[in-house]
């Protein structure tokens, strides 16, 4: 199929009111979700997922992608107005956004956040379109041994870069792998960790684990401390962002966008580190570096470009290799699987219409983000002041409905609450939940590719070292494991990372 034929196939799939409406609604939901302190883009995507079951696959996935992109921008609204990031990705925006709001320039800061977010979003989407197909064509030469080593490496790097403790990240990933083994063994037909309960023979429900892990702990935290996130929203002020502001910040926006694209394409890094790296690079190279931290509009532009540049790039490993780049794409890969689609190189051959439909939708989402963001700057600042006595019950009802609607099974609701307490304890003891979820998703793929490799070789493990690709991923895995162990030893001895002995 030629490039033009692929574009036409994608356009025929998404060229209808339903798809674009889903995308627009998704951006609006994500912006609202991101603007509410205590929620996050991750929680918004998780709560939206059950509503996509009855939709066409492309419509449901576009809805989730819209929530993802809207959520990343929406987090900047409370970050600037009440000094509380709506999402972790917006943490760097506080550094200069809130000082600007204190000076009566909140409207200017929010305007720059929107322009930088949309510019970075377009660059990130173009990078996805350019590189995902190339990477997928390379990955077509992968067999089960190559995929096994790739997934193994992905698990180690995801565990290693999540949170402040590398060992806790590794422990979280191991727990996720263990949980993924629950259910009926499809090869030998034996029960694994089901304890004789027929509800567990199919394994734990992905939606129940997901919502339990990411939504319930937030609700418990809000109940535990209902006065958290309370702040006074600043007025927008009379200053507005101008074209001169945008031109002055353009270099930082483009640089931050490419930093976001680079870090987003590596599984496990996420938007928050990208935003801080983009911010620090802008501060290092700016003529106004002394103003950074005191209300410099270039600082807002750099941090927002950094976190939004990640949004499209995290889809590169997802679509090309079937490996989620962060926790939100881990949820989205779950949506693909629920709709009977398997992201990876074969999808570029078997479902080329969906791939190009997604590309078209992502380009359009940048324009929708600009429209919704323009309205959000003026109207959604009141969202940050929603009383917790209204917010908590509403979110809890959405959680229960979302989980029960999957199989009409009350057992899944119980799993959700059990996982909610697990997630709450993980938060209390600073064990990152993202590696847990990603390992839970990748665990079955790791096992399947290992078993296929063993069947191919007659149980000879040397097949896992059969070529340069497998050796390359083994080398990366060993380097990452050594880094995790080294960091763990240094943490025990009280030596800071990067510090000397």
Please choose, from the candidates 154, 114, 96, the residue with its C-alpha nearest in 3D space to the C-alpha of residue 31. 114
21 pLDDT higher than 90: yes
Q: Report the distance separating Cα 30 and Cα 308, nearest Å.
A: 13
Q: What percentage of the chain's residues is helix, strand, coil (to nearest 5)?
A: 75, 0, 25
- Whether 70 is covered by a domain: the verdict is yes
pTM above 0.95, yes or no: no
The tokens describing 229, both together, are 């996130």
Number of domains forming the structure of the chain: 1
User: What pLDDT does 235 receive?
Assistant: 64
497 pLDDT higher than 50: no
User: What pLDDT does 277 receive?
Assistant: 82
- Whether 496 is covered by a domain: the verdict is no
Q: What is the mean pLDDT of residues 163-173?
A: 74
Domain that holds residue 127: 3-230+238-491
Q: Are 229 and 212 in contact (CB under 8 A)?
A: no
User: What pLDDT does 184 receive?
Assistant: 80
Q: 37 in helix, strand or coil?
A: strand
Q: Are 212 and 415 in contact (CB under 8 A)?
A: yes
pLDDT in tens, 223-275: 777 665 555 555 666 667 788 888 888 998 999 899 888 888 776 666 777 88
Would you place residue 287 in the very low, low, confident or very high pLDDT band (cuts 50, 70, 90)?
confident
Please choose, from the candidates 134, 1, 105, 62, the residue with its C-alpha nearest in 3D space to the C-alpha of residue 339. 62
Q: Are 214 and 424 in contact (CB under 8 A)?
A: no
Q: Report the distance separating Cα 472 and Cα 204, nearest Å.
A: 34
pLDDT in tens, 62-108: 999 999 888 888 888 877 877 766 676 777 888 888 888 888 888 88
Query: For the packed helices 297-313 and 106-139, what is the interaxial angle rounded to 10 degrees?
Result: 30
- Whether 497 is covered by a domain: the verdict is no
Would you place residue 498 in the very low, low, confident or very high pLDDT band (cuts 50, 70, 90)?
very low
- Whether 162 is covered by a domain: the verdict is yes
- Whether 499 is covered by a domain: the verdict is no
User: What pLDDT does 390 receive?
Assistant: 75
CA-CA distances (angstroms) from residue 325 to 1, 158, 253?
A: 28, 9, 22
The tokens describing 16, both together, are 């209808």
pLDDT in tens, 127-152: 888 888 888 787 777 888 988 888 88
- Whether 250 is covered by a domain: the verdict is yes
- Whether 500 is covered by a domain: the verdict is no
- Whether 115 is covered by a domain: the verdict is yes
CA-CA distances (angstroms) from residue 165 to 171, 432, 477?
A: 10, 9, 18
């Amino acid at each position: 199929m030629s490039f033009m034929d692929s574009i036409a196939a994608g356009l025929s799939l998404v060229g209808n009111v339903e798809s674009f409406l889903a995308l627009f609604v998704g951006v609006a939901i994500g912006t609202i979700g991101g603007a509410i302190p205590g929620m996050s883009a991750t929680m918004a995507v998780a709560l939206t997922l059950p509503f996509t079951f009855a939709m066409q696959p492309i419509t449901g996935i576009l809805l989730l992608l819209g929530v993802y992109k809207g959520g990343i921008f929406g987090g900047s609204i409370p970050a600037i107005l009440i000094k509380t990031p709506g999402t972790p990705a917006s943490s760097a925006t506080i550094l200069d956004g809130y000082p600007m709001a204190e000076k009566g320039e909140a409207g200017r800061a929010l305007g720059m956040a929107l322009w930088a977010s949309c510019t970075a979003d377009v660059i990130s989407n173009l990078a996805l379109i350019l590189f995902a197909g190339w990477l997928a064509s390379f990955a077509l030469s992968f067999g089960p041994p190559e995929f096994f080593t790739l997934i193994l490496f992905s698990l180690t790097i995801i565990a290693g870069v999540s949170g402040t403790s590398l060992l806790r990240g590794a422990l979280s990933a191991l727990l996720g792998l263990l949980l993924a083994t629950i259910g009926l063994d499809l090869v030998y037909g034996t029960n694994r960790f089901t304890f004789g309960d027929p509800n567990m023979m199919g394994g734990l429900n992905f939606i129940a684990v997901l919502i339990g892990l990411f939504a319930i702990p937030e609700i418990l935290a809000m109940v535990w401390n209902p006065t958290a996130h309370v702040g006074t929203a600043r007025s927008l002020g009379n200053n507005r962002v101008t074209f001169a502001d945008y031109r002055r910040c353009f270099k930082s926006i483009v640089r931050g966008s490419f930093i976001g694209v680079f870090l987003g394409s590596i599984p496990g890094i996420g938007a928050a580190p990208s935003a801080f790296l983009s911010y620090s690079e802008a501060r290092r190279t700016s003529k106004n570096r002394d103003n950074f931290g005191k209300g410099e509009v270039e600082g807002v532009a750099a941090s927002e470009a950094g976190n939004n540049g990640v949004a499209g790039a995290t889809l590169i490993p997802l679509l090309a290799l079937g490996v989620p780049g962060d926790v939100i794409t881990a949820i989205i890969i779950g949506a693909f699987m629920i709709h009977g689609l398997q992201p990876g190189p074969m999808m570029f051959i078997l479902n080329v219409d969906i791939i190009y439909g997604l590309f078209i939708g992502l380009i359009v989402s940048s324009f929708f983000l600009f429209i919704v963001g323009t309205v959000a700057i003026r109207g959604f600042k009141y969202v940050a002041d929603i009383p917790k006595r209204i917010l908590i019950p509403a979110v809890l009802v959405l959680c229960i409905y979302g989980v029960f609607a999957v199989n009409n099974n009350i057992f899944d609701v119980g799993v959700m609450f059990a996982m909610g307490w697990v997630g709450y304890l993980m938060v209390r003891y600073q064990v990152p939940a993202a590696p847990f979820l990603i390992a839970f998703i990748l665990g079955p793929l790791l096992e399947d590719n290992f078993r296929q490799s063993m069947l191919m070789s007659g149980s000879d493990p040397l097949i896992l070292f059969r070529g340069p690709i497998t050796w390359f991923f083994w080398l990366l895995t060993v380097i990452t494991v050594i880094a995790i162990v080294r960091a763990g030893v240094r943490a025990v001895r009280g030596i800071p990372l990067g510090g000397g002995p």
